[in-house]
Structure 1
Amino acid sequence: MKTALMVISSAALLVSGSAMANADLAKAKNCMTCHSVDNKILGPAFKDVAKKYAGDKTAADKLATKVIKGGSGTWGAVPMPANAQVSPAEAKTLVTWVLSLK
């Protein structure tokens, strides 16, 4: 029983640490300049993005491309600039994190 609790506690720490690491990656890649988790700034709140794309199995790939190349029109008149400093792997990590938000 004690071992099972330790395993569950360790898994919870890993998950929360991973979520925090992705928030840190979003800060490091300047995503938080235009976005926040809960509120619209220039771009939509990450939770609003997660809601909009919930159940869309193609969303992660589409959004990862948009992170790197930029885009416009989906969330209004303000375009999202290209982010060439974000690698494809980092874009996928960021988008996976955003889509996991509730």
Structure 2
Amino acid sequence: MITRNGVLSLLAVVSAAISAAPAHAAPDMQALAEKSGCFSCHAMHSKIVGPAFADVAAKYKGDAEAPAKLAQKVREGGKGAWGRIPMPPHPNLKEDEAKALVAWVLSTGS
């Protein structure tokens, strides 16, 4: 169980990491998302097959467990969170790439 202080500490670390990211981080993440096929099903602000990244960010805002949970879902696939169409797995993405993509997606709601 994560305590309130633990959650606040985790949020501070994630926030600092995002703030400290180099200016080229967002374009790098967009390029990785394009290369990985994310934009085949997702767009930044509108639903295609899957939800808009902005909607994902809004749904999981403040959820300290979301980054790890969503990174796992990106790599392993998932179903049911946004409707009947499943998200296919992306096992070729490295774990750190999936985590970086998720952090980028979640930052779109800021």
Which TM class, normalised by the smaller chain length?
A: 0.7 to 0.9
What amino acid sits opposite 1:93 in the alignment?
A
Is 1:63 equivalent to 2:70 in the alignment?
A: yes
* Cα deviation code 1:15-56 (max 9, x no counterpart): 2x2111101110011111100111100000000000000000
TM-score, normalised to structure 2, is 0.78
Moved over 3 A (4+): none
Q: Aligned equivalents of 1:45 and 1:29: distance in 2?
A: 16
Match of 1:72 in 2: 79
Q: Name which one, 1 or 2, has greater alpha-carbon Rg.
A: 1
TM-score, normalised to structure 1, is 0.84
Which of 91, 106, 109 does residue 99 from structure 1 map onto?
A: 106
Percent of matched pairs sharing the same residue = 47
Match of 1:46 in 2: 53
Is 1:37 equivalent to 2:44 in the alignment?
A: yes
Is 1:22 equivalent to 2:18 in the alignment?
A: no
What amino acid sits opposite 1:79 in the alignment?
P
User: Aligned-pair RMSD on alpha carbons?
Assistant: 1.2
